[in-house]
Amino acid sequence: MTDSLASLASLVASRLRDIPDFPEPGVLFKDFTPLLGDARAFGAVVDDAVARYAGRVDVVVGIEARGFMIGAATAYALGVGFVPVRKQGKLPGETRAAEYSLEYGTATIEIHDDAFPAGSRVLVMDDVIATGGTVAAACDLVEELGGEVVGIEVVIEVAALGGRAALGSRPLTSVLVV
Ligand code: AMP
């Protein structure tokens, strides 16, 4: 890890709040709303991603809902478009879907079929990677549309849940590993 990423990690850590048993018993929820509410910290996270991807991506894909917050700000700062990956039934146009496993049961996310042209270089963003199922499904959708996942950026990686392994060789950068 570079010095700047290490100091950014401590800034992020200081702006996170752990909420036990949310949204269900046994989950320690990593709440990044204090980070979003702090202009310096939010800006530093966006600037860090921009430094890594400036000129290297054509579009940012953000995953509902917290991936929209970090992803849309980063897309704007990079000067590229933003594409939402949403929960089933929320996108109005023609979509394609990917189903993935949760601890109990499955979930489905969708992307618009015409979200970006084939061959686009894509940065995928979310707030947290836990088991990796959500981000991996979003990457599958990007690749089905002919996009190239140039990078995956998350603010927080819950290392014990092994999400990084679920992504295969796709490059993941996490600002803070917990
Ligand atoms: P996963 O598919 O297991 O990697 O879960 C990632 C998705 O669930 C992300 O969209 C996160 O926003 C959310 N998530 C999972 N675990 C947590 C957690 N401990 N704190 C906050 N969000 C979480």
Q: Tell me the average pLDDT of the chain.
A: 96
Q: Residue type for 45, please?
A: V
The answer to whether the CB of 112 is under 6 A from ligand 1 is no
Could you report the per-residue pLDDT of 103-159, keeping only the tens digit for each? 778 999 999 999 999 999 999 999 999 999 999 999 999 999 999 999 999 999 999
Asked whether the predicted pLDDT for residue 48 surpasses 90, the reply is: yes
Instruction: Give the residue carrying structure tokens 């929820």.
Output: 29
Find out if CATH 3.40.50.2020 is the number for domain 3-177. yes
- Tally of residues, the chain: 178
First to last CA, the chain: 14
Average confidence (pLDDT) over 43-49: 98
The answer to whether the CB of 33 falls within 8 A of the CB of 14 is: no
Q: Which atom of ligand 1 is nearest to the CA of 103?
A: 3
The answer to whether the CB of 102 is under 6 A from ligand 1 is no
User: Among residues 152, 129, 127, which one has the least CA distance to residue 139?
Assistant: 152
- pLDDT grade for 21, boundaries at 50, 70 and 90: very high
| Catalytic center residues | 66, 103
What is the layout of strands, in order, in the sheet containing 81-87?
A: 95-101, 106-112, 81-87, 59-63, 121-129, 148-157, 172-177
Could you report the per-residue pLDDT of 158-174, keeping only the tens digit for each? 999 999 999 999 999 99
pLDDT at 174: 98
Could you report the per-residue pLDDT of 115-126, keeping only the tens digit for each? 999 999 999 999
Q: How many Cα neighbours within 13 Å face the side chain of 124?
A: 27
> For ligand 1, atom 18, which residue shows the shortest CA distance?
29
Task: Say which DSSP state 27 is in.
Answer: -
